[in-house]
């Protein structure tokens, strides 16, 4: 398989023109050039492929996976092995975007050496190009960076701290808290963080920190003055079954689209309107022995006189049969 082929065999990218790979230094360059960074989460092959082919710069396999894909009430339950599984699927889809894996709760809260070993797994076993870590864990960010793994920090509303914070609340709402947030951001950057996600903070605080930092900020619920924006894919397309947060914009209604498709399918099955004869495989003509039962009833019977050369299948199991 060539580099331009997906595992499923379709060409990558659709236009055929390879785009330059996004790297962590490239994000810094985008900040210097004043070019906004687009980022989205993805957790599987098809959505990651769509996001990458749409030209989004950064794809995060977020631990929001726990909520929007696995149905948990918060992000705490997802494991390293589950995150690795989804990171591999995304990796197989992506050619251009920077692939960033979120370190899940518990994977970096013990000894630094254990946390570095977990970060290495995301690169070695799943092909991540950077990891994201919540909170001002300065020594850890230094250690992971020294292990040659780019790190994105995540400050403000850090969902893994939900129990300590007492809920998902906007952070940095006082002057002191803004100063503390800014000091944390500086410390992470000095330790090697290549970008900082700012989540759930007032626009003014995010703007001030963005202007002061040498690396890009990527905002979610942090206003338009960050260097980039990130959203959860399922929020973008309304597939979360929950009222949207203030900062979410639905760019499509996948719930309505999928619901209608599923209901129409069920109705067609119930009314025997799916599948049609044209959507059916037929026995080969050389096996035909009888008269035109199909013409009489519209339903081919074994032994009826009908042609089967139309059968086009691409699965090995069917090939012998079809030939």
Pick 107 or 288: Cβ nearer ligand KIV: 107
DSSP per-residue letters across 277-301 = GGGS----GGG--S--HHHHHSS--
DSSP for residue 75: S
Query: Can residue 64 be called a binding residue for ligand KIV (CB under 6 A)?
Result: yes
Among 63, 98, 226, 236, contact with ligand KIV (rule: CB under 6 A): 63
- Residues 85-114 binding ligand KIV (CB under 6 A) are 102
DSSP per-residue letters across 188-246 = HHHHT-SEEEEES--HHHHHHHHHH-SS-EEEESS-TTSSEEEE-HHHHTT-SSSPPPT
Number of residues counted as binding ligand KIV (CB under 6 A): 11
Least Å from the CB of residue 191 to ligand KIV: 19
Handedness of CA 168, 153, 82, 221 (dihedral sign): positive
Query: Can residue 197 be called a binding residue for ligand KIV (CB under 6 A)?
Result: yes
Pick 8 or 245: Cβ nearer ligand KIV: 245
User: Nearest-CA neighbor of 64 among 92, 88, 40, 47?
Assistant: 40
Least Å from the CB of residue 130 to ligand KIV: 13
Among 12, 24, 30, 41, contact with ligand KIV (rule: CB under 6 A): 41
Helix (H, G, I), strand (E, B) or coil at 37: strand
Return the residue nearest ligand KIV (CB atom). 62
Least Å from the CB of residue 267 to ligand KIV: 36
The number of residues in the chain equals: 323
Which residues are tagged catalytic? 199
Stretch that binds ligand KIV, among 44-52, 55-63, 93-101, 188-196 (CB under 6 A): 55-63
Instruction: Quickly count: other Cβ atoms within 10 Å of residue 180's Cβ.
Output: 15
Instruction: Quickly count: other Cβ atoms within 10 Å of residue 61's Cβ.
Output: 29
Pairing of strands 130-134, 151-156: parallel
User: Nearest-CA neighbor of 222 among 288, 171, 256?
Assistant: 171
Per-residue x/- track, 202-221, ligand KIV (CB under 6 A)? ------------------x-
* Lookup result for tokens 């700012």: 198
Q: In whole angstroms, give the CA distance from residue 158 to residue 162.
A: 7
Among 62, 150, 192, 200, contact with ligand KIV (rule: CB under 6 A): 62
Stretch that binds ligand KIV, among 58-66, 203-211, 262-270, 302-310 (CB under 6 A): 58-66
Per-residue x/- track, 141-180, ligand KIV (CB under 6 A)? ----------------------------------------
DSSP for residue 203: H
Q: In whole angstroms, give the CA distance from residue 116 to residue 263.
A: 47
The tokens for 247 are 């900062």
Least Å from the CB of residue 78 to ligand KIV: 9
Stretch that binds ligand KIV, among 56-64, 239-247, 273-281, 282-290 (CB under 6 A): 56-64
User: What does the binding site for ligand KIV look like in residue numbers (CB under 6 A)?
Assistant: 41, 60, 62-64, 102, 197, 199, 220, 230, 232
């Amino acid at each position: 398989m060539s580099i331009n082929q997906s595992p499923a065999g379709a060409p990558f990218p659709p236009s055929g023109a390879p785009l330059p790979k996004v790297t962590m230094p490239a994000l810094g360059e985008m900040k210097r050039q004043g070019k906004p960074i687009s980022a989205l989460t993805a957790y599987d092959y098809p959505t990651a492929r769509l996001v990458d082919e749409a030209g989004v710069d950064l794809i995060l396999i977020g631990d929001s996976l726990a909520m929007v894909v696995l149905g948990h009430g918060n992000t705490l339950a997802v494991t390293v092995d589950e995150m690795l599984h989804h990171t591999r699927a995304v990796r197989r889809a992506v050619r251009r975007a920077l692939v960033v894996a979120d370190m899940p709760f518990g994977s970096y809260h013990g000894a630094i050496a254990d946390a570095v070993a977990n970060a290495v797994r995301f690169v070695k076993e799943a092909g991540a190009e950077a990891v994201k870590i919540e909170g001002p864990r300065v020594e850890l960010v230094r250690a992971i960076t020294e292990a040659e793994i780019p790190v994105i920090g995540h400050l403000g509303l850090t969902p893994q701290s939900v129990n300590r914070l007492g809920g998902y609340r906007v952070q940095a709402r006082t002057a002191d808290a803004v100063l503390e947030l800014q000091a944390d951001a500086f410390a992470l950057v000095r330790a090697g963080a290549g970008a900082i996600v700012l989540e759930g903070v007032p626009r003014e605080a995010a703007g001030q920190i963005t202007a002061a930092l040498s690396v890009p900020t990527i905002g979610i619920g942090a206003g338009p003055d960050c260097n980039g924006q990130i959203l959860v894919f399922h929020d973008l397309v309304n597939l979360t079954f929950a009222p949207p947060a203030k900062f979410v914009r639905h760019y499509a209604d996948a719930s309505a689209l999928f619901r209608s498709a599923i209901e129409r399918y069920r109705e067609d099955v119930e009314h025997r309107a799916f599948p049609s004869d044209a959507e059916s495989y037929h026995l080969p003509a050389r096996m035909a022995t009888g008269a035109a039962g199909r013409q009489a009833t519209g339903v081919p019977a074994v032994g009826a006189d009908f042609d089967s050369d139309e059968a086009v299948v691409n699965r090995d199991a069917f090939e012998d049969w079809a030939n």
